[in-house]
Structure 1
Amino acid sequence: MRAIQIHQTGGPEQLQLVDLPVPTPGPGQVRIKVAAAGVNFIDIYHRSGLYPQPLPFTLGLEVAGTVDALGEGVSNWAVGDRVGCVTAIGGYAEYALAFADKLVRIPENVDLETAAAVLLQGMTAHYLALSTFPLKAGDACLIHAAAGGVGLLLIQIAKRLGARVIGTVSTEEKAALARAAGADEVVIYTRESFVERARAFTNGRGVDVVYDSVGASTVEGSLDSLRPRGMFVTFGNASGPVPPISPLTLSSKGSLFMTRPTLFHYIATPEELRWRAEDLFTWIGAGELQVRIDRRYPLAEAAAAQIALASRATSGKLLLIP
């Protein structure tokens, strides 16, 4: 089968299209015939070595497809079942493995590409808005990268919960996408201060929470946009890792809270995983959550897909189609 591997960490040039044996599922595992694989920043972190992995390493955690084979002891899935996973083993490939208890069932009214496009980013948006800082009606939230994959979904979920949303984007085109998703206000950060706009949006008080996937370049402004005892949620490093922040900084800016969550701690049990995925699929099936697929790439163009994602020039999801 064809797959994308790295044999050493580094830039996109390290991504190699290779031929590998079709993997055999071990105990508790299933094999998935991959219909689509999501391209995510965590894949870039694996490739670059920010999140080290044993080498050689086949990239890709997020897939949707059909069960192709069952490992020993798997009784709750059958060959042909439509499934998705955000903890796949070797998802940038024609076939991937996954542990049976980490799968979610994809309903017939959600196509496999949409499922691959929504699982990781959609469940991220879900935990951010419902668990990390549970939004309620009237809360004001600032969402960075509001026209990105997580951003567009997070806007929609925040509005479902009755929150007021101000988002940041880099261009007029992205601003239009964020507004269409439901953002109350959108700031083009290349032209104006999002701190000033966030303060004006809240009549000088500051927002209740900042959801920040950008990292190094926005951290200072994010902290300055918060109300006293507000929460800074830093969940990505698109512009580089957030530098160390002194607890005294949090104190001086209003007894702020700071957290650095990751999805895998919010889907740690099968019950929580199913809750988040089933909410997303229900909303999609009812036409209440729109999933934007920005581009689809053949597997051989994985490097181009990662370059596009890292450029922050995309709006929505990037998929690899084996």
Structure 2
Amino acid sequence: MMRAIRIRDVGGPDVLEPTDIDPPKPGDNDVLVEVSAAGVNYIDTYQRSGLYPVATPFVPGIEGAGTVRAVGSGVDGLAAGDRVVWKNALGSYAEHVVVPAHEAIPIPENVSDELAAALLLQGMTAHYLAVSTYPVQPGDWVIVHAAAGGVGLLLTQIAKLRGGHVLATVSTAEKAELATAAGADAIASYEDFAARATELTGGAGVACVYDGVGQATFQDSLEALRIRGTLALFGAASGPVPPVDPQTLNAKGSLFLTRPTLAHYTRDDDELRWRAHDLLRWAGDGTLDVRIGGRYPLAEARRAHEDLEGRKTTGKLLLLPA
């Protein structure tokens, strides 16, 4: 038997139930991994609540890092004892998880399991947003919402690596300090960021708004954009955005609106490994500062979700099975 978190019926954080279940077995082209650390992400809360449907009962969590303990047939390049990290293996809130071999990324020696688990999913999200969805150009002003969160801190750093200027939105003075330390050039509240963007750009507006907040920020995010600016709506932490009349984008300056998702930016192994290797290299050599904002025993997954949804956290949250 192994310890895991199980969801019998969707709902609030109280449905996260610590329990003992049979450990999984790797199938063809899979590896069985002993989990050192599992990442806690907003997608976990969406699946738990039913916003993103998953057949119940299920073990939540899609991201983590650990040590390979067994390999299925057809697996090349991985062996028992290898340390790996992954960003898409449902069932990661557990002591063991089956990971598709193509999703298992070897961890460099100079990167710890916890650091890798804290980096991959949110780091890849930041990478595709700043490098591909709207590639930040030198001199661009961009807005990063929730800049003290896990994605926000990494996204701010990658935007700065590309020569951009970042206007960061935060809700507290402590979070403002974290965003500034990550390289943000200016700070705004969620109430005044559009006006601040206008001021900083001499009335032109910003090149892109990276918006993982959703409903609460969406309208002002549109207002903050320059002509032909891009709103990259990659999450809905405050709730889903209502339907949008495309004519609105015309009236506000031929704007671009996209609702990207990581799966479409890691469509093949080459793209997946390109993004992962960039991030692990930057983390290993200190180019990226990865903030772990909270470590919780596996049995306290409920508290981790409550803290995340209550906006009490900064950086990345990890569940530790051991």
Interval of TM-score (by shorter of Structure 1 and Structure 2): over 0.9
**Helix, strand or coil at the partner of 2:61:** coil
Q: Match of 1:13?
A: 14
Are residue 230 (structure 1) and residue 229 (structure 2) matched? yes
Task: Write the mapping of 1:63-142 to structure 2, written as runs, cut at 5 A.
Answer: 63-142=64-143
Amino acid at match of 2:230: M
- State the alpha-carbon separation in 1 of the partners of residues 91 and 120 from structure 2: 16
Distance in 1, Cα, partners of 2:74 & 2:224: 52
What CA distance in whole angstroms lies between the structure 1 residues aligned with 2:3 and 2:42? 22
**How far off is 1:234 after superposition?**
0.3
Asked whether the 8 Å contact 1:142–1:166 carries over to 2, the reply is yes
Aligned amino acid, residue 309 of structure 1: L
Q: CA deviation at 1:140?
A: 1.0
**In the aligned structure 1, how far is the partner of 2:86 from the partner of 2:280?**
13
Amino acid across the alignment from 1:70: V
After TM superposition, give the deviation of residue 265 of structure 1 in Å. Answer: 1.0
Contact 1:4/1:299, CA 8 A, preserved across alignment: yes
Letter in structure 2 aligned against 1:265: H
SS at match of 1:303: helix
Structure 2, unaligned stretches of length 5 or more? none
Helix, strand or coil for the counterpart of 2:62?
A: coil
Match of 1:261 in 2: 260
Shift of 1:205: 0.1
d(CA) in 1 for partners of 2:119 and 2:227?
33
Deviation at 1:161, TM superposition (A): 0.2
Q: What SS class does the counterpart of residue 108 from structure 1 fall into? A: coil
The residue type equivalent to 1:160 in the other structure is L
1:296: which partner in 2? Answer: 295
In the other structure, the counterpart of 1:250 is: 249
Q: How far 1:238 sits from its partner (Å)?
A: 0.5
Question: Equivalents in 1 of 2:104, 2:24: separation in Å?
Answer: 17
Question: Residues of 2 paired with 1:95 and 1:268: CA distance?
Answer: 26
Moved over 6 A (4+): none
Once the two structures are aligned, what percentage of the paired residues are identical? 58
Task: Give the aligned CA root-mean-square deviation in angstroms.
Answer: 0.7
Counting matched residue pairs gives: 320
Q: TM-score, normalised by structure 1?
A: 0.98
Superposition pairs of residues 8-47 of structure 1, within 5 angstroms = 8-47=9-48
Secondary structure at the aligned position of 2:318 is classed as: strand
Query: Which of 71-80 and 218-227 deviates more?
Result: 71-80
Contact 1:82 1:106 (8 Å CA) reproduced: yes
Please say if residues 175 and 188 of structure 1, whose CA atoms lie closer than 8 Å, have aligned partners that are also in contact: no
Query: Which structure 1 residue ranges, 5 or more long, are not aligned?
Result: none
SS at match of 2:111: coil
